[in-house]
A and B are shown apart, each in its own frame.
Chain A
Amino acid sequence: MSGPSFDQLLARLVRADVRFVVIGGLALGSWGVIRGTKDCDIVPDPAPDNLDTLARVAVELGGHVQLGESLLGSERSIAALLRSGDRALIATRLGDLDVVQGLEGVMPYAELRASAIDVEMADVTIPICTLEHLRTMKRAAGRPRDLVDLDDLDAAQPGEN
């Protein structure tokens, strides 16, 4: 398998009118802390129609979710999982998509979207969470990797903390 194509993955979501905000490693990189990231983290608009569209695009990209012993690979099963409000790591042929929902320390979509920065990439517009929101989420997560990221963010964006 070749490496993930997160640019294509994000473009597919945008073109299908899925509403989301990018957080995690790709947001961190956008703000200047450029490092590899294992997946593409997004917070989706929790509206059922949006989650259904997200599930449809994921399945079109060969998406499946490993849930214990179960493997969810149909549009219906992934949509049901997303509608339940749970976080879902969807493996697609363009890379892993981490759909973050109901996670403590992560703001709701509406709050993230209200101040997100729209970034042009290729011919689509990708909403990236603000620096302030990114820092808040990193502090809440509090893992060693997050603390290193916060330190690096301070170096990349001095005077913005």
Chain B
Amino acid sequence: MTGSVVFGAMAEQSKQRSPDLEGERVRRLRLRADGQRPLGVNLKETISLTRKLFELRDAARRAR
């Protein structure tokens, strides 16, 4: 099978995959990538994300 045929088959397979499945596949790839990073980097990012989520929540409450 030539490279272009393989690419075509992969593209077709990708098109057939539902958005939900594709989103889940990407999410799992991201989890895998995050799991390979140093714990300290992930800890800082978790703390930073938490802070942002609290701020968004508070902003939404104030806007009501």
Residues of A within 8 A of B (CB): 1-7, 25-26, 28-37, 117, 119-121, 126, 128, 152, 155-158
The residues of B that contact A158 with a CB separation of less than 8 Å are 32, 35
Query: Which of B31, B38, B45, B50 is close to A155, meaning CB atoms less than 8 Å apart?
Result: B31
A25 to B40, CA, bound (A): 14
Query: Which of A1, A26, A117 is close to B46, meaning CB atoms less than 8 Å apart?
Result: A26
The residues of A that contact B37 with a CB separation of less than 8 Å are 32
The answer to whether B28 touches A155 (Cβ under 8 A) is: yes
Number of residues from B at the complex interface, CB < 8 A: 24
Between-chain CB contacts (< 8 Å), 21 pairs: A2-B54, A3-B52, A3-B53, A3-B58, A4-B54, A5-B51, A26-B46, A29-B42, A29-B47, A30-B40, A32-B31, A32-B34, A33-B35, A34-B42, A35-B46, A36-B50, A119-B39, A155-B32, A156-B34, A158-B32, A158-B35
The residues of B that contact A1 with a CB separation of less than 8 Å are 58
* Residue from A1, A2, A35, A155 with most neighbouring chain B CB atoms (10 Å): A155
The answer to whether B49 touches A26 (Cβ under 8 A) is: no
Query: Which of A3, A126, A152, A157 is close to B43, meaning CB atoms less than 8 Å apart?
Result: A126
Q: A30-B42, A30-B43, A121-B44 are in contact. Are A36 and B49 (CB under 8 A)?
A: yes
Residues of B within 8 A of A (CB): 28, 31-32, 34-40, 42-47, 49-55, 58
A152 to B55, CA, bound (A): 25
> Shortest CB–CB separation between residue A54 and chain B, in angstroms?
20
A3 to B31, CA, bound (A): 25
> Shortest CB–CB separation between residue A75 and chain B, in angstroms?
26
